[in-house]
Amino acid sequence: MKIAAFNMKNFGQKKVSDDKVVGYLVKIMSQYSIVVILEVMDESGEAMKLLLEKLNSSRSNKESPYGMICSKSLGRDTYKEKYVCFYRTKEVELKDSKQYADDQPGDEDAFAREPFILRFSCPSTAVTDIVLIPVHTQPVKAEKELDELFDVVQQVRTEWKTDVLSFSVSQWAGPHLFPPLFPEHHDFRRFQCKRSISVQEEEDKAPHPTASLLLADRR
């Protein structure tokens, strides 16, 4: 099973209506069991419904179609965007989802675009339970928002009783900002992970690659 996350930069009806763009997208997305897209500008949801239709109409996906879940529109002013997740329904099952409330007393509204938390059951893989936490950080606040992810992790661990977590973070927060492998950078609260930590930043065909941090703590 493979998981991907892309920042598509103002991704909405215009790009989805471009057959050439969608052709590339379908080819890329079809390589993965779960795909998270950041910076989706689609208030009505119609553009993402059209993308899902085109994705599932591809010959390679007809026997293993995708489902889709979208966050609410997020942002502090008139500029709003969503997180959208596509997943193969025969390979994984969406068990739960929640929008992080971002309302901690004394530290309200810490995120420009609050994380969208997704829990999947993956019965055919070694890790059968995984939580994805997409977040599109604000460039000037990337360090602050990454530090705040500690609170998100603690909440998820407490409420869902799981320690297998994966972050999908926008390009504004590259590997140099993650403290587990780079402790000399900044004063982050540390994620304690007993089993494995991996940080990877890929150059892909998507316009904006993301940095992914996988926490696999099997306590």
- Residue 111: CATH number of its domain: 3.60.10.10
Q: What is the pTM of this model?
A: 0.79
Catalytic-role residue among 81, 114, 145, 148: 81
Is the predicted pLDDT of residue 153 greater than 90, yes or no?
Answer: no
Number of domains in the chain: 1
The pLDDT value recorded for residue 219 is 33
The pLDDT value recorded for residue 97 is 95
The pLDDT value recorded for residue 164 is 67
The pLDDT value recorded for residue 163 is 73
Alpha helix segments (H runs only) across the chain: 13-16, 19-29, 46-57, 142-160
Residue-wise pLDDT tens digits, 89-147: 999 999 999 999 988 888 788 888 999 999 999 998 888 888 998 888 877 777 788 88
What domain range includes position 185?
A: 3-216
Q: Which two tokens stand for residue 103?
A: 């309302």
* 14 vs 159: CA distance, rounded Å: 39
Give yes or no: 136 in active site: yes
Which residue, among 84, 4, 87, has the nearest Cα to 42 in the 3D structure?
84
Give yes or no: 185 in active site: no
Residue with the larger pLDDT of the pair 148 and 218: 148
The pLDDT value recorded for residue 211 is 39
Catalytic-role residue among 39, 114, 136, 145: 136
Arithmetic mean of pLDDT, 69-85: 92
SS3 197: strand
The pLDDT value recorded for residue 188 is 52
Residue-wise pLDDT tens digits, 81-99: 999 999 999 999 999 999 9
Is the predicted pLDDT of residue 46 greater than 60, yes or no?
Answer: yes
Burial of 192 per CB tally in 10 Å (0-12, 13-18, 19+) = exposed
